[in-house]
């Protein structure tokens, strides 16, 4: 009876381990730096636009920072997302705000609800006037199923095989004992 309890405990422990592994494994997203940097001219301002996602997905915020090449400029601005040809959506706006009180770097995010081609515009206002810079982005559809559900579906047969092996082991032990 003691060995049966131990085998059941091992089975439950392994099942719990694999279940936790499935739920906590996912797509790793490194936040150490930008994935893509584009240098643009927004009127009289030369800026670097840092994107923190290689390809944005629908309804996922596209994080970005705007860094002027002239570090003495304190700019204000906004993000404008215009749908491209074949993308059935409306123009979207989102503000850019400074990272810190005296910082010249602006930070912002915009979520595009429709997949397809988009034109992202950075509209800036500052001491030299206003200007706008544009760059294209293609928004992808989200994955078909979540990662945790894929792991659950993929590892379910493994649990069945483990249960079958455990039952075979118990059956063999009863035959040997008899």
Write down the pLDDT at residue 22.
Answer: 65
Residues 110-136 have a mean pLDDT of 94
What's the pLDDT tens digit per position in 133-152? 999 999 998 878 888 888 88
- pLDDT, residue 159, reads 87
The answer on pLDDT for 31 being more than 80 is: no
**Above 70 in pLDDT, residue 1?**
no
pLDDT value for 100? 87
Which is more confident, 117 or 7? 117
Q: Considering the domain boundaries, does residue 124 fall inside one?
A: yes
In a domain, 130, yes or no: yes
Q: Within a domain: residue 57?
A: yes
Look at residue 78 and tell me if it is in a domain.
Answer: yes
- In this prediction, residue 137 carries a pLDDT of 94
Mean pLDDT of the chain: 88
Whether the predicted pLDDT of 125 surpasses 60:
yes
Q: Model's pTM, two decimal places?
A: 0.66
Model confidence over 39-90: pLDDT tens digits?
999 999 999 999 998 889 998 999 999 999 998 988 999 999 999 999 999 9
Whether 123 shows a pLDDT value over 90: the answer reads yes
- Whether 160 is in a domain gets the answer no
Q: Total domain count for the chain?
A: 1
In a domain, 121, yes or no: yes
Residue 53 falls within a domain, yes or no? yes
Q: Say how far apart CA 4 and CA 36 lie, in whole Å.
A: 57
Residue 77 lies in a domain: yes
Domain enclosing residue 96, as ranges: 36-139
Q: What CATH number does residue 85 fall under?
A: 2.60.40.10
């Amino acid at each position: 009876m003691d060995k049966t309890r131990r085998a059941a405990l091992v089975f439950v422990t392994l099942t719990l381990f694999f279940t936790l592994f499935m739920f906590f494994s996912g797509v790793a997203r490194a936040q150490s730096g930008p994935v893509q940097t584009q240098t643009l001219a927004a009127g009289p301002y030369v800026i670097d636009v840092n994107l923190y996602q290689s390809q944005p997905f629908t309804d996922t915020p596209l994080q970005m920072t705007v860094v002027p090449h002239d570090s003495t400029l304190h700019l204000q601005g906004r993000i404008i997302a215009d749908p491209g040809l074949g993308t059935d959506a409306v123009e979207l706006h989102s503000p850019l705000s400074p990272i810190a009180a005296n910082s010249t770097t602006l930070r912002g995010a915009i979520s595009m609800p429709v997949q397809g081609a988009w034109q992202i515009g950075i509209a800036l206002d500052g001491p030299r006037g206003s200007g706008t810079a544009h760059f294209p982005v293609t928004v992808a559809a989200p994955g078909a199923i979540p990662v945790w559900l894929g792991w659950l579906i993929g590892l379910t047969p493994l649990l069945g095989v483990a249960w079958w092996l455990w039952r075979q082991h118990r059956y063999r032990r009863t035959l040997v004992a008899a």
